[in-house]
Amino acid sequence: MEAEDGSELCFPQLQNTSCRKPTLLWHEALLPFFLMSISTLTVALNLLVIISVSHFRKLHTPTNILILSLAVSDLIVGLLLLPVEIILKLSCWFLGDLACSLFNYVSFIVTSASVGNMVLISMDRYMSICDPLHYTARVTVNRVRLCVCMCWLGSVSYSAVFARDSLTQPGKYNSCHGECVVFIDYVSGAVDVVLTCALPVTVIIVLYARVFSVAVAQARAMRSQISVVSVGLKMMRSELKAARTLGVVVVLFLICFCPYYAVSLVSDSLVSSSYVSFVLYLFYLNSFLNPLIYALFYPWFRKAIKRIVILQAGS
């Protein structure tokens, strides 16, 4: 009986302080394989986005730079965050307390950077649709690159504040060996919900509500005008199409992101561990969906993929 109990422990030599190995129910047995497939596809698709935008000079536009930044955060999700969550689902944490703290720190960075990228995308579409005459002068590639760098630096600094205890005292909040948990006190959690969820989501919704109201008005004006300059008409249609496509990206992000933060507002006793895992995987699933949206709605992405696959040179 003791041997059987020992076999269920993460560290059998530590009988009194070791965590127990996680157990999967019969209906959860295929979940790790499904998540691993999603992780692999997430990495592959976002790599294609990064290579496409980085390599082809014609794609070096302000909007595509923002898409590139979002693809980087999505790549980290597929390459690191999701695989580690799969490991935690199947086994114990054997990489040590410091690695656990660094993993949680990176997850904070990716989450806040993703939110920041969505805010920047919403601002970009707002400027292009609501102030098209000044868009090209005010929104340049270099300025967008600067904004992206500030977004990531801000995410690194902001996340360091919340992860400082776990980084300075790794394993402080672990209840047993073989566990990887993160603890945020009530005040810090409330501030994080406001700064990382409530405020950005409000900004995104307000900006895109304005974008779509103006886009509808412009679409009606385009249909009512008979004699228009064809080049200007094509540019307007292109901007409207980009607004719709990125609108889908933003809406899916909100659908996948809001439940993730809503859980933090509810008492742990009211939320099952299965639901917590569900909202976490839903948030990670968004990183897989974004490049699929680009493939469905952006011809330039499909052309770039074709040229990359056949190793066709050019920029």
CA distance 48 to 52: 6
Max distance between CA atoms of the chain, in angstroms, equals: 87
Range of the domain at 242: 31-309
DSSP 21: P
pLDDT along the chain (315 residues), means of 10: 56 78 70 90 94 89 94 95 87 85 92 94 89 88 96 95 82 80 78 89 90 74 54 56 77 87 66 78 92 84 83 64
Q: Which CATH number fits the domain that encloses residue 261?
A: 1.20.1070.10
CA distance 289 to 257: 13
Residue 69 lies in a domain: yes
Residue 9 lies in a domain: no
Residue 205 lies in a domain: yes
Residue 7 lies in a domain: no
Tell me, what's the pLDDT at 289? 92
CA distance 177 to 268: 22
Its pTM surpasses 0.75: yes
Q: Could you tell me if 69 and 151 are in contact, meaning their C-beta atoms sit under 8 angstroms apart?
A: yes
Domain count, the chain: 1
Residue 3 lies in a domain: no
Residue 172 lies in a domain: yes
Tell me, what's the pLDDT at 47? 94
Residue 11 lies in a domain: no
Residue 22 lies in a domain: no
